[in-house]
Amino acid sequence: MEYWMIKSIRETPKILKDVVKVPIDILEDFKRYKRILFIGCGSSYYSSLAGAYTILRLSSEIKTVAFPASEFILNYSNLSKDSLVFLSSRSGETKEIITAAKIVKQKGGKVIGITCNENSTLTKASDMSYVIHGGEEPNIPATKSFSAITLILQKIAISLLNEIGAIESLEREISKIPKAVKKIIEDEKEFMKISDRILTNKSLFVHLGSGATCIVTLEGALKFRETSYIANEVFPMFEFRHGPIALKVHKDKIATFLVLHKTCKEYEENIRRFILDINDLEPIIITNYSELSESSDNTYLVPWSGSEILSIIPFVIPYQIMAYYLSISLGYDPDNPSGLVRYVSNF
């Protein structure tokens, strides 16, 4: 029996092709805003991190930050005034998102909604919105919707840059993402084998990344938590040495993921020493850095030669597939995890 989750993952290249074609209508007056905020919940929060990360890496002039919606409401709503705020929600009905939208508008900010539901409350509450048609999915854990929302936010972030040449170059790279994702999905059986061989007997997953792949590991860890109810820890790669490395006393119970883009090559010697430090954890390495392929018997080379900033979507697909097959192996229903709902309707 196949569940909806794997079907949704396989539909990702198609939805990404559609998103690539979505025109981004830049607000001509966006420079009058003091800052740009990206807000979401769950997977949409990690998509929001991707939007903010894109701007932070490409511009020193634009002030930007991403928040979980609840944290924005409780602690940072004072930033609403004179802010351009992107609120993301697959359903467009998550209560915290709707509450945040109301606060932003009350305090003088501008709300742009990103959702997969054209008739949602978020769409109605926004000053303008981007609706991802076909992005909704029957499974509760976000898969193709995460990729679609991430891509639209990164397209928006890139469109806000001043440098026309940089925009055109990155837009060309964006158009290559669907093809790369399609290639990765063709390796589905490889991820199924990794899941069956390594993950089924582990009780703690540790995820290590850097830059864009930190966002990948956050979303990947969430997929495992949602579908297999296993404890997951996420750290920036070298931060693992500052305390968390003590977890190695439980090495037989730990599955370790090291996720790296080849832009880290400048620090190859440091990375190789780090891999030696954690070699007894037998890490699963997800990378497009071919020189690291001999560092572990469990290395997957991601077919992505483009920008580190745009690596989030290609690099997260292996996680989604492994999470699906682990859930199946453990006898769970990945479409309807225990205790989860399609959207949280109260705050």
Q: What is the pLDDT of residues 315-328, one digit of tens each?
A: 999 999 999 999 99
pLDDT of residue 221: 98
* Stretch among 17-26, 234-243, 313-322 having the lowest mean pLDDT: 17-26
The Cβ of residue 111 has, within 10 Å, a number of other Cβ atoms equal to 24
- Local confidence band at 28 (pLDDT 50, 70, 90 cut-offs): low
Q: Where are the beta strands (DSSP E) in 178-328?
A: 204-209, 231-236, 254-260, 284-287, 299-301
- Local confidence band at 57 (pLDDT 50, 70, 90 cut-offs): very high
pLDDT of residue 292: 78
Rounded to whole angstroms, the Cα distance separating 210 from 217 reads: 9
Nearest to 142 by CA among 326, 323, 329: 323
253 contacts: CB under 8 Å, gap ≥ 6:
202, 203, 204
pLDDT of residue 162: 67
Segments of the chain assigned to CATH 3.40.50.10490: 4-175, 183-329
Rounded to whole angstroms, the Cα distance separating 57 from 323 reads: 29
**Average of per-residue pLDDT values in the chain:** 93
pLDDT of residue 165: 67
Rounded to whole angstroms, the Cα distance separating 136 from 119 reads: 12
Predicted TM-score of the model (pTM):
0.95
Q: Is 22 helix (H, G, I), strand (E, B) or coil?
A: coil
pLDDT of residue 307: 94
Asked whether residue 164 carries a pLDDT value surpassing 70, the answer given is no
pLDDT of residue 342: 85
Rounded to whole angstroms, the Cα distance separating 48 from 53 reads: 8
Tokens of 97: 């998102």
Tokens of 276: 């030696």
Average pLDDT over residues 274-295: 88
> Quick check: 256 and 279 in contact, CB under 8 A?
no
Buried b (16+ CB within 10 A) or exposed e, 95-105: bbbbbbbebbb
CATH code of the region 183-329: 3.40.50.10490
Rounded to whole angstroms, the Cα distance separating 196 from 92 reads: 36
Rounded to whole angstroms, the Cα distance separating 208 from 234 reads: 6
pLDDT of residue 35: 93
pLDDT of residue 291: 82
- Local confidence band at 31 (pLDDT 50, 70, 90 cut-offs): confident
pLDDT of residue 40: 98
DSSP 73-136: IIIIGGG-TTEEEEEEESSS--HHHHHHHHHHHHTT-EEEEEES-TTSHHHHHSSEEEE-TT--
pLDDT of residue 126: 95
Amino acid in the structure at residue 46: Y
* Stretch among 43-52, 266-275, 317-326 having the lowest mean pLDDT: 266-275
- Local confidence band at 294 (pLDDT 50, 70, 90 cut-offs): confident
Q: What percent of the chain shows pLDDT beyond 90?
A: 82
* Stretch among 126-135, 154-163, 238-247, 277-286 having the lowest mean pLDDT: 154-163
**Residue located via tokens 């932003």:** 104
* Choice between 272 and 86, residue whose per-residue pLDDT is larger: 86
**Residue located via tokens 């400048």:** 266
Average pLDDT over residues 115-142: 95
Average pLDDT over residues 186-204: 95
Rounded to whole angstroms, the Cα distance separating 138 from 180 reads: 24
DSSP 28-77: TTGGGSSEEEEEESTHHHHHHHHHHHHHHHH-SSS-EEEEEHHHIIIIIG
- Local confidence band at 197 (pLDDT 50, 70, 90 cut-offs): very high
Average pLDDT over residues 126-155: 96
Rounded to whole angstroms, the Cα distance separating 287 from 304 reads: 9
* Choice between 293 and 158, residue whose per-residue pLDDT is larger: 158
* Choice between 162 and 107, residue whose per-residue pLDDT is larger: 107
CATH of 4-175, one of 3.40.50.10490, 3.40.50.800, 3.20.20.70, 3.30.70.1140: 3.40.50.10490
Give bridge partners of residue 64 from the DSSP assignment. 36
